[in-house]
Chain A
Amino acid sequence: DVKVTQSSRYLVKRTGEKVFLECVQDMDHENMFWYRQDPGLGLRLIYFSYDVKMKEKGDIPEGYSVSREKKERFSLILESASTNQTSMYLCASSSQARYNEQFFGPGTRLTVL
């Protein structure tokens, strides 16, 4: 079974703090994705990566950055957290072979006070 894990289920941070969300997958997938999930808005893609050290902007990259130093790990960084970044953050991975069938982690519920 594909396993995608995220470093925290719940996180509370203060406005202006730097926040790191970590995601690890154990299936040697090439592709990794970060989404945020908000009620009534569905999932919106923040950033994705097709390979180590490669990254591409998704639909809502403003206020976020990412890092992929190793194939299995994809980090989402909020340089200076703001209250409008309070959300559920989902990480996903997929193999090029199983074209775009994405496997999701359990999510991190981030609250910015």
Chain B
Amino acid sequence: AQSVSQHNHHVILSEAASLELGCNYSYGGTVNLFWYVQYPGQHLQLLLKYFSGDPLVKGIKGFEAEFIKSKFSFNLRKPSVQWSDTAEYFCAVNPILTGGGNKLTFGTGTQLKVEL
């Protein structure tokens, strides 16, 4: 079964610092990749997604992620974080399988706290 690893469980940054959250997955075939964010007290929402094409994808609120196929990675980045970026971030992978049955596998999440 495929797995998704998010190595940073808790990250604390000061405002304006740069952010990079790691995500690695284990599936060797074609994948769709996602980052979801959950702000305090809010529901999970899509931050950005990669289906195909340019491996550098841009999402909402200045976030971007780079798909590196050779490293099985899809790291999330933001050049300058804000206090409002405090949230939990989840990486998710959908392996493209023939015959249907596709579903998302989520990582364990990274709790980001941005301090003023």
Is B94 part of the binding interface, using a Cβ–Cβ cutoff of 8 Å?
Answer: yes
Is A66 part of the binding interface, using a Cβ–Cβ cutoff of 8 Å?
Answer: no
Which one, A35, A44, A58, A100, contacts B94 given CB within 8 A? Answer: A100
Q: Tell me the count of chain B residues lying within 8 A, CB to CB, of chain A.
A: 26
Chain B contacts for A102, CB-based, 8 A: 46, 104
Chain A contacts for B105, CB-based, 8 A: 45
Chain A contacts for B44, CB-based, 8 A: 43, 90, 92, 104
Q: Which residue of A lies closest to B9 (CB)?
A: A40
Chain A contacts for B101, CB-based, 8 A: 56
- Once A101-B49, A104-B43, A105-B43 are accepted as A-B contacts, the answer to whether A40 and B108 lie under 8 Å apart by CB is yes
Classify the secondary structure of B's interface with A: loop
CB distance from B41 to the nearest CB of A (A): 9
Q: How far apart sit A4 and B46, CA to CA, in the bound complex (Å)? A: 14
Chain B contacts for A74, CB-based, 8 A: none
Question: Chain B residues in contact with chain A, CB under 8 A?
Answer: 1, 6, 9, 32, 34, 36, 42-46, 49, 51, 90, 92, 94, 100-109
Question: Chain A residues in contact with chain B, CB under 8 A?
Answer: 4, 33, 35, 40-45, 48, 50, 56, 58-59, 90, 92, 99-107
**Could you list 30 examples of A-B contacts with CB < 8 Å?**
A4-B43, A33-B103, A35-B106, A40-B9, A40-B109, A41-B108, A42-B106, A43-B44, A43-B90, A43-B92, A45-B103, A45-B104, A45-B105, A50-B100, A56-B101, A58-B103, A59-B1, A90-B43, A99-B32, A99-B51, A100-B32, A100-B94, A100-B102, A100-B103, A102-B46, A103-B46, A104-B43, A104-B44, A106-B43, A107-B43
